[in-house]
């Protein structure tokens, strides 16, 4: 299982990469591996306002459908259309292929997320 340094992780197996006031959100390697071959990804529209814990979309695999949760509050300012068009990108490289980018409301919410070390322990 691949866990990258420099990211924040949620208990629902999403990752957050912070760049200034923006946060890129995707699913972890653990999540994509658990789901199997991902065949569909539903993402929100730009301008959608999400609170931490809200469903940001859905991913479907040959095994199951799973909600994806937004680990941080903010307004969706970018959606990765490549992932919507080819959801298998989440399997090939889940950390390179983010799902949404939000303009964060409260950077303090990052303190509620796990470090790479904490996430590794959580998954074990």
Q: Give the Cβ contact number of residue 77 at 10 Å.
A: 15
Q: Examine the pLDDT at 64 and tell me if it is beyond 90.
A: no
Q: Examine the pLDDT at 71 and tell me if it is beyond 90.
A: yes
Q: Examine the pLDDT at 31 and tell me if it is beyond 90.
A: yes
Domains annotated for the chain, with CATH where assigned, are 8-107 (2.40.50.100)
Mean pLDDT calculated for residue range 53-82: 95
Q: Give the Cβ contact number of residue 118 at 10 Å.
A: 12
Torsion of CA 67, 42, 69, 23, to 10 degrees: 160
Residue whose C-alpha is closest to residue 2's, from 112, 113, 119, 89: 119
Structure tokens at 112: 């509620």
Residue 63 pLDDT: 85
Q: Examine the pLDDT at 60 and tell me if it is beyond 90.
A: yes
Residue 55 pLDDT: 97
Structure tokens at 72: 């941080």
């Amino acid at each position: 299982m691949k866990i990258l340094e420099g990211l924040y992780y949620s208990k629902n197996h999403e990752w957050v990469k912070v760049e200034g006031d923006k946060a890129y959100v995707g699913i972890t390697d653990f999540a994509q591996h658990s789901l199997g071959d991902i065949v569909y990804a539903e993402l929100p529209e730009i301008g959608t306002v999400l609170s931490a814990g809200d469903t940001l979309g859905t991913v479907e695999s040959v095994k199951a459908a799973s909600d994806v949760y937004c680990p941080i509050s903010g307004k969706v300012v970018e959606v990765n259309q490549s992932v919507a068009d080819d959801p298998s990108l989440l399997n090939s490289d889940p950390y390179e292929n983010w799902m949404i980018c939000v303009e964060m409301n409260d950077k303090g919410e990052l303190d509620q997320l796990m470090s790479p070390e904490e996430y590794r322990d959580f998954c074990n």
